[in-house]
Amino acid sequence: MKKIGLSFGGLIFCLFLFCSHSFVLKGVESTSDPAWRSFRGDLRNSGYLRQEIPIPDKLLWKIKLDGRINCTPVVAKDVVFIGSLDKKIYFVDAHTGQKLGDFSFKKVYPSFLILNDDFLYLSSEGEKGTIFCYDIVKGKLDWQKDLGSSKSSPLIRDDRIFLGTEIGRFYALNINGGDPVWQFERKGKILSSPAYSEGLIFLGLDDGWFYALVEKTGGVRWKFKADGGIVSTPAIEDDKVLFGSLDGTVYCLDKNDGELIWKLEASGSIYSSPAVTESSVFIGSNNGFLYKINLFSGEADWKFETFSPIHSPPLVVGDKVFFGSLDGRFYVLESVTGKLLRTYQTSGMITSSPVFYKGKIYVTSEDGYLYCFGQ
């Protein structure tokens, strides 16, 4: 088992490169650290950054890992953290693509990663463990809680971790040790990741119910029944919460009372999660189309067709949209018109979300590669 020690706290950030029994140490000045620390980038799961960037029309590097990848990476302090279906998390230099180390787990497969201070939190599916806390300074596990298999991303706010499981239990855990603070339980599976806004936690279940829970107690503020199961992770913009359903519908609800504001019907089940800007919603469907929807009217401004279903949650950076498809292609579109700006063919399906860090876009594919695009 290889380990990497990473310091997030001081002026010097140390990268430990493991090679047999030796390592190379180099220091990197820590200035401002724009980072992508969670699945959708923020507590609202917006998948959106206002920053304007040029078209990332060059493949800067790619690295082959030892297993298929359907996990969305997180990036901070010039390191990409990525989980693989070979039961490992990998640490990769964000600029060169060089592997810095890895950490192995037993009997579990990484689902989602989230960074918080000096710790990397991992949700997992498999026989043992739902949530792991990995100390990236000491290079070892700090704690773990065996709560059941999870395909949901953790959400961290203040001193609590919020996480759903496949057996229909949703937990608020103490960030120090993982002890439960409260638990919410239903019959449906939780395959969607939670979102947070103004004291409420939002989540959907595969039985079609969507809930707003009180952050402090886990009590139900309101609930809404969709016509199909929900595996799409919700996103929030202003007073609106948005998500897709397996009934082929994109729903927009009032986040305060759960009242339906609008819905848009597509012709295919929706596994993708929305990205939301101040005026638009971007989401993919199993019919192979990526939709841009007016946030206020619920009408489609345009749709772009790929060659396969779209499960990849789109990323919006400035006026560009990034996403993958089960056709194995990575797409870059102009957000205003839906014009294709760039595409790149991988050898595996793309189900994870692209992420942005320091002008570069990072994409994973089930062909086992992590790709980096930029100028």
Read off the tokens for 10.
Answer: 């001081």
Domain that holds residue 84: 12-374
Q: Residue 227 falls within a domain, yes or no?
A: yes
Total number of domains in the chain: 1
- pLDDT per residue as tens digits for the range 231-246: 999 999 999 999 999 9
Q: Residue 6 falls within a domain, yes or no?
A: no
Q: What is the pTM of this model?
A: 0.91
Judged on CB neighbours under 10 Å (0-12, 13-18, 19+), 181 is: middle
Read off the tokens for 187.
Answer: 């019959």
- pLDDT per residue as tens digits for the range 102-114: 998 888 889 999 9
- pLDDT per residue as tens digits for the range 333-359: 999 999 999 999 999 999 999 999 999
Q: Residue 7 falls within a domain, yes or no?
A: no
pLDDT band at 90 (very low <50, low <70, confident <90, very high): very high
Read off the tokens for 73.
Answer: 């990476």
Q: Residue 4 falls within a domain, yes or no?
A: no
Mean pLDDT of 85-95: 94
- pLDDT per residue as tens digits for the range 175-226: 999 999 999 999 999 999 999 999 999 999 999 999 999 999 999 999 999 9
Q: So what's the pLDDT on residue 33?
A: 65
pLDDT band at 17 (very low <50, low <70, confident <90, very high): very low
Q: So what's the pLDDT on residue 368?
A: 95
- pLDDT per residue as tens digits for the range 121-157: 999 998 777 899 999 988 889 999 999 999 999 999 9
Who wins on pLDDT, 85 or 8? Answer: 85
Q: So what's the pLDDT on residue 12?
A: 31
Contacts of 58 (CB under 8 A, 6+ apart): 373, 374, 375
Judged on CB neighbours under 10 Å (0-12, 13-18, 19+), 284 is: buried
Read off the tokens for 302.
Answer: 């345009």
Q: Residue 2 falls within a domain, yes or no?
A: no
Residue 34 has pLDDT above 90, yes or no: no
pLDDT band at 97 (very low <50, low <70, confident <90, very high): very high
Q: Residue 155 falls within a domain, yes or no?
A: yes
Q: Residue 102 falls within a domain, yes or no?
A: yes
CATH number, domain of 119, equals 2.130.10.10
Mean pLDDT of 166-173: 96
Say if CB 240 and CB 278 are below 8 A apart: no
Q: Residue 290 falls within a domain, yes or no?
A: yes
- CA 269 to chain centroid, in Å, comes to 20
Q: So what's the pLDDT on residue 108?
A: 85
